[in-house]
Amino acid sequence: MASDKCLRICLWSGPRNISTALMYAFAQRSDTGVVDEPLYGHYLKASGAPHPGAAEVIAAMDTDGERVVREIFLAPCDKPVLFIKNMPHHLINLDWAFLQQTTNVILTRAPEEMLPSYAKNVPHPTLRDTSYDLQVELLEKATAWGQDVPVLESRELLLDPAGVLKALCQRLSLPFEEQMLHWPAGARPEDGLWAKYWYDSVHRSTGFAPYKAKTSPFPEDLKPLLAECQPYYDKLATYAIQKD
């Protein structure tokens, strides 16, 4: 059980969001260490999800989710702040009670923008793949525990990175640091093995890219899933930190 004074920030993001960019932003802080999706191997083994590089990830990572929780999420910290990037569906077959010892943040994205991007890498996605339902469940559970759960919406963050990050830091009782807005191009040592499949655009970046609305027609085959996702996203968006 975590008993030190480390601030353990767990980011719970859906796929094809700007979660890696947000991890890079926190990695620039003088007080923060970051970890990239430590439960991914556990999720892939437990679910059998056909993700790119799944066998390689399972072979390289600790797939015992309970041990990962003990040894990464709740272990002693090297720095005052630990930022752990996660996806809610990676919590498969785990007791969520440990989240009462972490500071939880949700990052969401409009499904009409996310789904076409995700389907390029994972054909035939389902609601559970998107995590919208699990993000709402997590928000409700953590709120019932008495937690203040900041919700970030990717469009709002891209429209005003400084404003939204300052508001987030205030909610987390952290001083905002300007270096969170920029990082060196290229990979980071904390990147997961899956970076070669998913992180190409963020590796080319040196900061949060300006928001650009998608203009391509929405795929017909994804419209039923969009209808499933939309009510969950709409609920999350009502809690989102807005740009200044």
Q: Which domains does the chain have, with CATH numbers?
A: 7-237 (3.40.50.300)
| 12-51 per-position pLDDT tens digit | 999 989 999 999 999 999 999 999 999 999 999 999 988 8
Please give the share of the chain, as a percent, with pLDDT higher than 90: 84
Model pLDDT, residue 244: 60
Q: For residue 171, with 0-12 CB atoms within 10 Å meaning exposed, 13-18 middle and 19 or more buried, which class applies? A: middle
Model pLDDT, residue 2: 58
Model pLDDT, residue 62: 97
Decide if 208 contacts 18 (C-beta within 8 A): yes
Separation between Cα atoms, residue 85 and residue 13, nearest integer Å? 8
Please determine, for residue 1, whether its predicted confidence score (pLDDT) is greater than 90. no
Structure tokens at 62: 């600790």
Coil/strand/helix, residue 146:
coil
**In Å, what is the CA distance from 31 to each residue of 6, 139, 197, 232?**
10, 26, 29, 34
What pTM value is reported for the model? 0.94
Separation between Cα atoms, residue 208 and residue 18, nearest integer Å? 8
**In Å, what is the CA distance from 149 to each residue of 105, 128, 218?**
6, 21, 31
| 107-163 per-position pLDDT tens digit | 999 999 999 988 988 888 999 889 999 999 999 999 999 999 999 999 999 999 999
